[in-house]
Amino acid sequence: MKISPKKLDELIKIVHFAGIEILKIYEKKVIKSFKSDNSPVTNADIRANDIICKGLKKNFPKISIVSEEQTKKGRAAQRFWLVDPLDGTKEFLKGNGEFTVNIGLIENNKPVFGIIYMPTKNKLYFTKEKKSYFAKLSKKGKINNIKKIKIKKRKKNIVIVSRSHSLVESEIKKAKKMIFKKYNANKIIYSGSSIKLCYIAHGLANVYPRFGTTMEWDTAAGDAILRYAGGRIKTLDRKVLRYGKTSFKNSSFIARS
């Protein structure tokens, strides 16, 4: 499915409006609770989800929606939206600003469109006609400084990893040595949320290893952005990450430039 310029504008408005509402809660009163899997959810997650799903239903009434905050296990449609209304809830709760709004479009088990907005930095990543772009949004949602992005190869890689981890200082030092050797790297940077995939697409990093379970809505938008910038995500058995699984769970993967 091709996203028309008019519909892309509507999608940008949707993520921007969701970001505005997230920031209102972020700066005033966050209410936290826990889901059945013991993962945190806030009033900002719920508010952003309502905005996004309402906007998608209005503009794309024939496409079904799978969202982190209102999904049921089962076989997905051939074409559907994957939504993470507030990716990086842990970073949101820590107050470090590294959280995003994610919308991805899946067709035949592949991500064919992605848009990711980082409200605290007004950073916007999106795809258009099988290319990936970076831009800034003004406070009124006006898009500025659009730039086509692509991966960057280096002799020594920059590895990006999740900021939220439970390692003690001594374990971190050991992990760094292992990472440098395994991924031919000389630098590690830390970040929260799906912005890690965007940074590889933007040429700011080269490798993002993710071990353990993630959900499809965590990766769909970033996967599309990375693919169209020339990168890839593969599972540990070297298979391309696919979408529309019954459980919507991803296995461990490595994203690369």
* Domain boundaries of the chain, sorted by first residue: 5-149, 157-256
The C-alpha atoms of residue 87 and residue 122 are separated, in whole angstroms, by: 15
In three-state secondary structure terms, 239 is coil
Q: What is 157-256's CATH number, 3.40.190.80, 3.40.50.620, 3.30.390.10, 3.40.50.970?
A: 3.40.190.80
Residues in a beta bridge with 33: 41
pTM score above 0.75: yes
Mean pLDDT of the 73-100 span: 89
Class of domain 5-149 (CATH, top level): alpha beta
Residue 77 has pLDDT above 90, yes or no: no
Q: What contacts 111, CB < 8 A, 6 or more positions away?
A: 82, 104, 105, 220, 221, 223, 224, 227, 243
**Averaged pLDDT score across all residues of the chain:** 92
Per the model's pLDDT, the better-predicted residue between 233 and 165 turns out to be 233
The string of pLDDT tens digits covering residues 166-191 is 555 666 677 788 889 999 999 999 99
- In whole angstroms, what separates CA 229 from the centre of its chain? 15
- At residue 223's C-alpha, the angle toward residues 17 and 23, to 5°, is 25
pLDDT band at residue 212 under the 50/70/90 scheme: confident
Residue 135 has pLDDT above 90, yes or no: yes
